[in-house]
Structure formats: structure tokens, C-alpha cells
Structure 1
Amino acid sequence: MRKNYDENSIKQLIEKYNIDQLFDNMDLPFYTIQYEKESFYNNPMMQIIYFRLG
């Protein structure tokens, strides 16, 4: 798993997937996570607050 905080790449993803339409306030700390092939993040005790694109 690798986290990405690069503002330029995140801005490109926000524009590509129209993420700005999903939020009332875009003044939020965004980051992306890249998982290894066939890896899966799962924690049944944690409320899901993330969503996956692509």
C-alpha cells in the first residue's frame, strides 16, 4: 500500500472523475492510496468512509 499526497496528481483525479460534484466543501485533505495487485483492505470494526475509483 502506498499513499499519495501529491496535490497535482490528486487534482487530476478530481477533475477526471468529477469528485468535486460529490462534496459540498472541497477544502478537505485529499490523498490517494495505491494497493498491491490483488490486495484488499478490510476492517469489519471500522465504518467505511472511503470509496474506490476505477
Structure 2
Amino acid sequence: MIVVSDTSPITNLSAVGALELLDQLYDRVIIPQAVYDEMASLEQYLVRLRFKL
């Protein structure tokens, strides 16, 4: 299954150390450019995410 993700599921899973669940549940996770940009902004200004953009 392919899923398109918003920022919240990715950042919340990352915060609790469970980001690998996306890999286990879905064949492919698509992150739109706007979501990528928002995550980059969060990493730069608010939180250090547990994955690399």
C-alpha cells in the first residue's frame, strides 16, 4: 500500500521512536514537498527529529 503523509504522523512517530512503523505498515510513504519543508523547519527551529531529511 502507498500512503501520502502529513507532517504530524511523521513527527509524532519520530518523537516516540516508532518511525520504523511506517516502513512495516506501508510499501511506500510519499512526503509532499510542503510537508518536507515543514519538517525541515521544525528540525531547524523547534526539535531535533530522529531521522534525516
TM-score (norm. length: structure 2): 0.30
Structure of larger gyration radius:
1
Query: Higher helix proportion, which one?
Result: 2
TM-score normalized by the length of structure 1: 0.29
